[in-house]
Amino acid sequence: MEQTEMELRCPHCSHVERCGSSQMLARLQAVGALRRTHEPESGLVLELFAAMVHRFSCEQCGEKGLTCHEANDEEWDDWQVIRNCESCRQPISPERLAVFPQTKLCLACQGKRGCR
């Protein structure tokens, strides 16, 4: 299968996920849109993926109604992960994630809780 990657975005929590061919197949099978066990044509997978994206759930907040477009390597840094604060749902700054990769709170919410 061709190595086209798609980027999924959640309009509810701003979570971004990049999907390769295996992730696209898994999502399609999870919503019952693809039942074949052998490798289907890449064009079919991409077409189905785009048509069914509204049925996919966000891995972070669980809401449905994601959007997708072809992933652009120039806009995507592999090391940079977009993660939203568990408290306020706003994106945690990439600088904070670089220093504290396991953090689940943005700086403002961390300060409100009085934790280091």
Q: Report pLDDT digits (tens) over 105-114.
A: 989 999 888 7
Question: Given pLDDT bands bounded at 50, 70 and 90, which one contains residue 73?
Answer: low
In the prediction, which pLDDT does 112 show? 87
Q: Measuring CA to CA, how many Å separate 44 from each of 54, 76, 91, 92? A: 17, 25, 34, 36
CA dist., res. 56 & res. 49, Å (int): 9
Question: Given pLDDT bands bounded at 50, 70 and 90, which one contains residue 1?
Answer: very low
What average pLDDT does range 54-73 have in this prediction? 86
pLDDT exceeds 60 at position 81 = no
